[in-house]
Structure 1
Amino acid sequence: MPFPIAYHRKTCAQEPRTNRGGPGKTTGRAHAGATMTAPPGYAVAFFTNTFYPFISGVALSIDRYRRHLKALGDRVVVYAPQYEEPLEDTDEIRRLPAIKQFLHTDFALPLPVSFKPLLDFRNEDFDVVHVHHPFLLGETGMRLARQHGLPLVLTYHTQYERYTHYVPVDDAVAARTIIRHTTDFCNLCDLVIAPTRDIECVLRDRGVQSRIEVLPTGVEVDRFAQADPEAARQRLQIDASAHVLLYVGRLVTEKNLEYLVRACLRVLEAEQNAHLVIVGDGQNRHALIGLARERRRTASRVHFPGQVTGADLEDLYAAATLFVFASKTETQGVVVAEAMAAGTPVVALDADGVRGLVRDGLNGRLLPEEASETDFADAVLDALRDHAERSAWIPAARKTARELNMPCLARQLHELYGSLKLLPKHELKRDTMSFGLIRNYFETVWEQLSQRFMRI
C-alpha cells in the first residue's frame, strides 16, 4: 500500500550508491516476495531506553510493532528499563536496572550493566537485534548483535540534537556531539529505519551510508470506528455543540506548548463556544495550567485531563473539532495520524515528521514553521468558521490514516527482517564501545575551545 504522496516530496542532497526502494519498500532480493505469504517467524530482540508505563511515541511504536509482529508469527523480546510502578510483564518484556525519575522527570535512565541480556543471548537463538536508540541499551544491543553475528537494525525515532536543553552543557557543543555519535552508530547498522522521508534525508545529508528504509509507525485504524465522541464530551462537561481543540502528547518544552496554548487562548477569546483540551502529562504541566488561568475569560474552557489511554483517548480524538499541533521536533507525528484516523482535521506547523501527513487545504492546515501565534490562531479560527471546508477535510484525513494501516506496516518490517538474513556478518568496531560518546564530547569541546583561542 503506498504512503501519502508527501512522503516522497523531498530529495536528499546525498544519495547512496546502492539500490534503494521508496518508502515502505524493501530492497534487493527480499522485495520480490513483498506480496507473498509471510515467511516463517523470526526471533527478534528489541532494545529500548523507554517503554510502558512511560507514555511516549517511541513506547507506542514499539508496542504496536511488537504486537503486530507477534500476530505474524514472530517472537519479539523487549529489553526495557525498570520503572517504579509494579508491572505485570510477560517473559517477552524483560526489565533492566535503571535510575528512576532521572533529572526529576518520569523518565527512567537505563543502566547498560545488566548481565541478563548476555545470558539470554547464550541460551536463546535470536535472528535479528532491533535497537530503538543509538546509545545506552542501544549500544548493549549493538554489541550483542556483533558478538553473535546477527543483523543490527536501528529505528531512528528521535532527533536527539533537538533535546539538548536536558543536558547541562553548551547546547551547540551537545548538538554537534550527538549528531556525530548518532551518525557513527547508524553507519554500524545493517538497516536504519526512518519514520519519514524527511528523516531519511537528514540522515543521508549527515553522511549515513547504511541502508535506510522509510517505515512509519502505523495506526490501528479499526479501533476508531467504535469511538464515542459524546461520552468524551460528557466526561469533560463540554456541550455537544461546542468546538473542541485537542492536543495529545507529553507536556514538555520540546513540544512548543506555550506557543500552542497562547495561540489557542486567542481562539477561545474570539469564539465563546470553543474549548481547548490538553491531554498528557510532563514537567511543564503546572506551568501550562498557570498560563491558561492567566486569562479569566477563557480559563474555564481549558481542560487538562492528564494521561488518557485506550478507548477513552479514541473517544477524545473523535470528539475534537480540530487537532492542534505546534511541535518542531518530531520524527513522525503519531498523534497527528491518530487524530486523522478519528476523522479529525489537523492544524500544525510545517516541520519534519508532520509535513508528510498534513496536506495544506486537503486534510487540514499546514502553516510555515515560523508562523506567529496570531497566524496560528487565525488559521484555527478560519477552519472553525468555514464548516464546508472543514467537513471536506474529514474524509481526506481518514484516507491519510488508512494509508498508515498498522498490519500492513508490520508485514513490511517482517519482510525486512527476512532480507537481513542474507547479509554477511560484521565485526564490532572499536569506535562504538561504551565511552565513545564521552570521547566524542571531549573532542568536540577541545575543538571549540581551540577555535575560540585562535580568535583571541
Structure 2
Amino acid sequence: MKILFVHQNFPAQFPHLAPALVARGHHVLALTDEKNKRPSPVQTLRYKAPDPVKTESALGRSYTEHAERGFLVARGARALRDKHGFVPDIIIGHPGWGETLFLKEIWPEAALLIYAELMYRTRGQDVGFDPEMGPDRDETRFMTVSRSAHLIQAMVQADGAIAPTRYQADSFPPELRGKITVIHDGIDTETVAPDPQAMLALPGGGPVLRAGDEVLSFVSRSLEPYRGFHAVMRALPAVMAARPQAQVVMVGAEDPSYGGKPRDAASWKARLLAEVGGQLDQGRLHFLGRVPYADYLSLIKLTRVHCYLTYPFVLSWSLMEAMAAGAYVVGSDTEPVREVIADGRNGRLVPFFDSAALAGALATGLAGDPQGPALRQAARQTILDGYDLVRDCLPRQIAWVESRGAMR
C-alpha cells in the first residue's frame, strides 16, 4: 500500500511504526513542517510553515491557526497528487495542529487514520483541576470548547483512530469513541531496562551518580504545574531535611509546554525557587534542563525514587519508561496514572495536592522501602505485560493499519 504520515514534528509518535511499514514492503512517505529537523529513515517531504495568525477574536484564534496549517498541508498534498501522481491508500496523521482537516478533499478515497491523543473537555480533566492556576470560570470553559472544534472535526472525518491509553480514548465524546482503538506507542524494554551499573556525571563539576545512590528524579518536558512541578518543589524542604544525603535531579525545560508562565516570575522554576529555595540545600538540587536521551535513560535506571505527577491529562512516556527501567515510582493519584499504577502493587500513589503525603512517600522510598524491590519488579512487569514495543504494541499497530487498508 501507499501510506502517508502527516505530522508537524514527524516522526513524533511514529518512530517505530513508519519504518516497520516500510520494512513490510509498503511505500511510505511523510509530510512535515519545513522547520522540523528531526531525522527519520522514512522519505520525508516538507510543507511551508504557517505564518503567525492575527485575529482579534480570542475564541476564534485556535481554529484559525489550525485551519491555516491545514490549508498549507493540503496545498503540499495537492502538489504530491498533481505533480508526482502520489495517491495514498492510507493517511495517518495527528489532528492536534489541524494538519488533517482538508486531506479528504485532496484524496477522498484514502482511509484517514488519526492519532487520538486527547480531547479537551470543560470538566473532569485539566480545566479547573488546579485552583491555584485560576478560578474555574465560564470564560475558561468557552475557550476550551473553541479549542476542541478542529479535533472534533478531525475525528468526524476519520475512518479510524488510535489512542495510547484508555483514559485518553475516553476523553472523546461517547459518540466518537467507537472509532478509537487503544494501542500504546510501545516501550523498547530491551533498551529501557534495569542496569545496576548505570551512572550519570552531573554537569558543572557535580557529583557522579550511580545505581544504589540516594537519588530522587523528576522528569518532564517542561517544569510546570501540569506535571506537578510546583507540588514537588513544595515537598522538597521536608524530603531534603529528612534525607540529608539525597541528591535531587530535575530534568525539563523552563519554558512551559502546556500552561502559561506565572504572572510574577520568568518561569515556574524561578517562581518556586523564590518561594521555597531558602529552605533547600541547593547544593543537592540539580536542574539539568533538557538532556540527551542517553543521559535521561541513565538517570531513570539509577534513581532510587522517581516522582511522576500529572493533572488529568496525557500520560507521559517518561512514566512508562521509568517503570520499564524498574524504578520505584511515586505518582499522583490521578486517573491517567491509575491506569498503569496501583498503589502498593507496582508503585506508590499520593493525592496530587497533599504536600505532606508526597514528602512522606518520597522520603520513605529514599530511605529504602522494604517493599521497594517488589514494587520495582512489578513496575517493569506491568510494561512487559501490556506495553512492550516489539512483542505487543508494534505488531498490533501494524495489524491495525493494514486491516484498514484491506477494508477499502
Fold shared per TM-score above 0.5: yes
Q: Which has the higher contact order (CA 8 A, sep 6+)?
A: 1
Q: Is the 8 A contact 2:221 2:253 kept in 1?
A: yes
- Aligned partner (choices 390, 399, 408) of residue 415 of structure 1: 399
Superposed counterparts of 1:341-380, under 5 Å: 341-369=324-352, 371-380=353-362
Instruction: State the partner residue of 1:185.
Output: 154
Distance 1:313 1:412, change over 3 A: same
- Give 3-state SS (helix, strand or coil) of 1:316's partner: helix
Instruction: State the partner residue of 2:244.
Output: 272
Give the CA deviation at 1:176. Answer: 2.0
Instruction: State the partner residue of 2:88.
Output: 126
Superposed counterparts of 1:172-321, under 5 Å: 172-205=141-174, 207-208=175-176, 210-225=178-193, 230-233=198-201, 236-238=206-208, 240=210, 242-251=213-222, 252-284=224-256, 286-289=267-270, 291-292=272-273, 294-295=277-278, 297-321=280-304
Distance 1:220 1:82, change over 3 A: same
- Aligned partner (choices 401, 417, 420) of residue 383 of structure 2: 401
Q: Is the 8 A contact 1:130 1:141 kept in 2?
A: no
Superposed counterparts of 1:94-173, under 5 Å: 94-98=45-49, 111-114=69-72, 115-122=75-82, 123-144=85-106, 147-161=107-121, 170-173=139-142
Distance 1:46 1:300, change over 3 A: same
- Give 3-state SS (helix, strand or coil) of 2:306's partner: strand
Instruction: State the partner residue of 1:64.
Output: 16
Distance 2:186 2:39 in 1: 26
Distance 2:350 2:312 in 1: 15
- Give 3-state SS (helix, strand or coil) of 1:139's partner: coil
Distance 1:263 1:100 in 2: 42
Q: Is the 8 A contact 2:236 2:280 kept in 1?
A: no
Is residue 2:20 matched to residue 1:48?
no
- Give per-residue Cα distances to partners, 1:73-107, cap 9 Å, x unaligned: 44442322233x8666666222322258999xxxx
AA aligned to 1:420 is R
Give the CA deviation at 1:277. Answer: 1.4
Give structure 1 stretches of 5+ with no counterpart: 1-41, 53-58, 425-456
Superposed counterparts of 1:331-350, under 5 Å: 331-350=314-333
Distance 1:417 1:224, change over 3 A: closer
Is residue 2:398 matched to residue 1:388?
no
Distance 2:246 2:53 in 1: 37
Give the structure-2-normalised TM-score: 0.78
AA aligned to 1:94 is L
Distance 2:119 2:292 in 1: 25
Give the CA deviation at 1:223. Answer: 0.9
- Give 3-state SS (helix, strand or coil) of 1:272's partner: coil
Aligned residues: 364
Q: Is the 8 A contact 1:292 1:302 kept in 2?
A: no
The root-mean-square deviation of aligned C-alpha atoms, in Å, is: 3.2
Give structure 2 stretches of 5+ with no counterpart: 55-64, 128-132, 257-265
Give the structure-1-normalised TM-score: 0.70
Distance 1:242 1:102 in 2: 50
Instruction: State the partner residue of 1:15.
Output: none
Give the CA deviation at 1:336. Answer: 0.6
Give the CA deviation at 1:181. Answer: 4.4
Q: Is the 8 A contact 2:243 2:367 kept in 1?
A: no
